[in-house]
């Protein structure tokens, strides 16, 4: 029986990547330094190294995406390359990202740029990261300096990727370095000072862009997990939701759009977050295989910020079996169709990820539509790439059976 999903008029249809995960040799970034820090050695199975060498091979990546039929591509610009030392901006790197924007447009891919996808320049991290007294100003200065990248071809900018994860990393970092005392239990692993700094940084970037590139529609992308409460964890789940998710979603009020990034759900019991149950089907990241997560996330966000259009800026699965990727994505798209049917204003979908890439410490979780040989960098598209991409041209996609657990 046919089960096709017709894309709404003007619906964005793309794939997502992030600079540190695909470019390679991001040597001036904080994450590169952490990968090489002996104190943190146990935390990183792999170093990013050359990644997918997309710094040089981006034309090939874009050719592939456009060839599958995608009409949109979300990628990030790397602050650590553009400003490798405080106040020292590289015209060559700015020109590099401008070429990428132009290259995308030439191929019929509308670029959505992310200004910050987790990594920051090492010098920024060393002076306190987002908690430094002038962090917001420094981020604003970087956005202003990057202005030549924001040509007419750039229709959308995501200021900060998953600020809620960044607020969580900050707490982890405190635990590792022993800095700034204990982490308050009431924070549930999220550093509230970082949260507030990130909200200010987002608003600063929106403000700067409003002046230098008023044609651009701005937003930020939040990791959205719904909580599955077991054994009386309702109160604690509500507390966690507030700090881990809702405060970031509400901060998008007044923006042109909010990005929803959805992969799975989180189990919460009376003591807090629980591990994924043993019997649950899982993916290569150990997360639950749970395609309805996307539909649920869209309903949650629509309830929190009813007036803000939503773009799915990431959704995907770490999986070696590509048929399971198609099943998972079909289930997720079913959920998105349901949300649209309920009147939720969803404007687009970007799959995570275009390429198998550096999953923040390991190359094992493969999220890509395209496999990448780790030695030769040869790209090999998976069947999911043409299945998903073709919808960009056909404006309709046949959903697979979501039975593969």
Catalytic center residues: 162
Q: 101: part of which helix (H) or strand (E)?
A: helix 91-106
Taking the least distance from each CB to ligand BGC, the nearer of 165 and 274 is 165
CB atoms within 10 A of CB 378: 10
Do you find a cis peptide bond into 41, omega within 30 degrees of 0? no
Instruction: In angstroms, give the least distance from the CB of 18 to ligand BGC.
Output: 5
List of residues contacting ligand BGC (CB under 6 A)? 18, 21, 161-162, 165, 223, 261, 314, 352, 359, 367
Q: How far apart are CA 324 and CA 369, in angstroms?
A: 12
**Degrees (nearest 5) of the Cα angle 96, 10, 54?**
25
The residues near 5 (Cβ < 8 Å, ≥ 6 apart) are: 333, 334, 336, 337, 391, 396, 397, 399
Instruction: In angstroms, give the least distance from the CB of 261 to ligand BGC.
Output: 6
3-state secondary structure of 156: strand
Strand partners, 346: 310
3-state secondary structure of 237: helix
The residues near 132 (Cβ < 8 Å, ≥ 6 apart) are: 124, 138
CB atoms within 10 A of CB 344: 18
The owner of tokens 């990248």 is: 149
Q: What is the DSSP string of 318-344?
A: --S-HHHHHHHHHHHHHHHHHHHHTT-
Q: How far apart are CA 232 and CA 242, in angstroms?
A: 18
**Degrees (nearest 5) of the Cα angle 336, 340, 342?**
115
Q: 192: part of which helix (H) or strand (E)?
A: helix 192-212
Detail the DSSP E strand segments found in 178-274.
217-223, 227-229, 258-262, 266-269, 272-274
Q: What is the DSSP string of 292-317?
A: THHHHHHHHHHHHSTTS-EEEEEE--
Taking the least distance from each CB to ligand BGC, the nearer of 5 and 287 is 287
């Amino acid at each position: 029986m046919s089960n096709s999903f017709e894309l709404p008029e003007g619906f964005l249809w793309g794939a997502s990547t992030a600079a540190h995960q695909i470019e390679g040799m991001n040597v001036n970034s904080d994450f590169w330094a952490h990968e090489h820090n002996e104190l943190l050695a146990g935390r990183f199975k792999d170093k990013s190294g050359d990644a997918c060498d997309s710094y040089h091979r981006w034309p090939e990546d874009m050719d592939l995406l456009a060839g599958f039929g995608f009409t949109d591509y979300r990628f990030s610009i790397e602050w650590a390359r553009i400003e490798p030392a405080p106040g020292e901006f590289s015209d060559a790197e700015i020109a590099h990202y401008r070429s990428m924007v132009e290259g995308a447009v030439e191929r019929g891919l509308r670029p959505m740029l992310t200004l910050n996808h987790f990594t920051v320049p090492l010098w920024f991290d060393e002076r306190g990261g987002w908690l430094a007294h002038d962090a917001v100003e420094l981020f604003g200065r970087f956005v202003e300096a990057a202005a030549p990248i924001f040509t007419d071809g750039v229709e959308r900018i995501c200021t900060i990727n998953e600020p809620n994860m960044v607020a969580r990393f900050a707490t982890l970092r405190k635990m590792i370095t022993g800095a700034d005392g204990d982490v308050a239990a009431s924070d549930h692993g999220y550093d509230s000072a970082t949260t507030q700094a990130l909200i200010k940084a987002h608003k600063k970037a929106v403000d700067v862009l409003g002046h230098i590139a008023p044609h651009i529609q701005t937003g930020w992308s939040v990791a959205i997990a719904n909580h599955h409460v077991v054994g009386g964890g309702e109160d604690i789940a509500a507390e966690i939701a507030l700090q881990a998710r809702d405060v970031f979603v509400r901060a998008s009020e007044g923006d042109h759009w909010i990005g929803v990034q959805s992969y799975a759900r989180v189990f919460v019991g009376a003591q807090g977050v629980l591990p994924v149950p043993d019997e649950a089907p899982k993916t290569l990241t150990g997360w639950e295989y749970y395609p309805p997560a996307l539909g649920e996330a869209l309903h949650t966000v629509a309830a929190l910020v009813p007036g803000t259009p939503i773009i799915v800026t990431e959704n995907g699965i770490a999986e070696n079996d590509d048929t399971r990727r198609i099943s998972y994505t079909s289930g997720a798209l079913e959920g998105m169709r349901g949300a649209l049917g309920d009147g939720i204003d969803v404007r687009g979908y970007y799959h995570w990820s275009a390429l198998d890439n550096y999953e923040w410490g390991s190359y094992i979780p493969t999220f890509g539509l395209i496999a990448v040989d780790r030695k030769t960098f040869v790209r090999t598209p998976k069947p999911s790439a043409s299945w998903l991409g073709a919808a960009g041209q056909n404006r309709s996609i046949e959903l697979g059976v979501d039975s593969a657990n």
